[in-house]
Amino acid sequence: MGRYILGRTIQALLVIWAVGTLVFFMLRAVPGDPIQALLADVDPTAADAIRAKMGLDRPVYIQYIFWVRNTLQGDLGQSIYGSHVSVDRIIVEAIPRTLSLATIAFVISFSLGLATGIISAVKKYSVWDHSFTFAAFLGISMPDFWMGIVLIIIFASTLGWLPAIGYKPLSDGFWPWLSHLIMPALAAGLPFSAALARITRSAMLEVLQQDYITVARSKGLKEQQVIARHALRNALIPVVTVMGISMALLFSGTVVVENVFAIRGLGQVLIANILNRDYPVVQGAILLVAVLLVFTNLFVDILYKVIDPRINYDSYEK
């Protein structure tokens, strides 16, 4: 197991390096000059001076070597815009917003998806099953930006229960922080909860038909014990896989929701700076997204072993 984790960690680092390298060269392959876009009609001499100060006048491979060296030292560079604010500062300011939104959205998707999936499987073909199945298909079909707009119209504009846009840090109080995240978290989390519900239902139905479930019931165990101890645990492998993917996508893919609710998180920062051709910020943001995605997948693989001890990684350790 230890060698497997070490090997997967090395693979993860290689993937992160490959993503960073690809983004670095792709940004510079796109036609256009960020300094010219920044300064517009300013004297070309001034533009050349700024370009030299930021190292953009060097050959691309030299820029890459300096970028790799600085990144390994924890220095992601400075933004071309915003009075040369450090990329670290921009990302550190954006991460709490994205993590708060993604965490609450994940809790919503996990709670609703797992509960409705289990109920649908246990009460197969009942009114509950049909209702939850219809709601799941509806949730999967609705885009998150459309759901966000509908939530704003209902709960902000019509009822006035929740703020429509913006973000408040947790230091301003728990309710101000939570009230600004409820609607965006619902918009981001409900589609994932629908997908999780369908996977949970399918996995549970397959497990409930196994012989050991029949044996457990014949021993006189209560139905709740059969479901919790025997059925659910054995159905968790595909469920955890979907949960891991959902977690990674929520942490890295809340771009649309952040724009709808005007939350300056990592996604909104990334989109804005792609449009501005701000190389250092885009490179730093995508590198962080890659880290989140890759290590979330690694965490899910390790979790498989915890859920089902029968899984072994001996073939990876030889």
Distance CA 285, CA 203 (A): 36
* Cα three-residue angle 189-262-27, rounded to 5 degrees: 90
User: Distance from CA of residue 270 to its chain's centroid?
Assistant: 14
State how far the Cα of 244 lies from the Cα of 293, in Å rounded to an integer: 9
285 to each of 75, 121, 272, 282, how far by Cα in Å? Answer: 13, 41, 11, 5
d(CA 157, CA 144): 18
- Give me the residue label for tokens 């930021």: 54
CA dihedral 267, 269, 274, 279 (to 10 degrees): -120
Enumerate the H helices of 166-235 as residue ranges: 174-179, 182-208, 211-218, 223-225, 233-234
Dist. CA 15–CA 290, nearest whole Å: 8
d(CA 134, CA 120): 11
Summarize pLDDT for 207-226 with one digit per residue, the tens.
888 888 888 888 877 878 88
Q: Angle, to 10 degrees, between the axis of helix 127-141 and the axis of helix 87-122?
A: 150
What count of Cα atoms within 13 Å lies in the side-chain half-sphere of residue 38?
A: 20
pLDDT, tens digit only, all 318 positions of the chain:
677 778 778 888 898 899 989 988 988 887 766 666 566 555 666 667 777 777 777 888 888 898 889 888 888 888 877 556 788 888 888 888 888 898 899 898 888 888 888 888 888 888 988 888 888 888 778 888 888 889 999 999 888 898 988 888 888 889 999 999 999 999 888 888 888 888 888 888 888 888 888 888 888 778 788 887 778 777 877 788 777 777 777 776 677 788 888 888 888 888 888 877 788 888 888 888 888 888 887 877 777 767 666 666 555 444
Residues of the chain with CATH 1.10.3720.10: 94-317
CA 287 to chain CA centroid, nearest Å:
13
- Do 276 and 37 form a contact (C-beta atoms < 8 A)? yes
What is d(CA 172, CA 175) in angstroms, rounded to the nearest whole number? Answer: 9
Decide if domain 94-317 falls under CATH 1.10.3720.10: yes
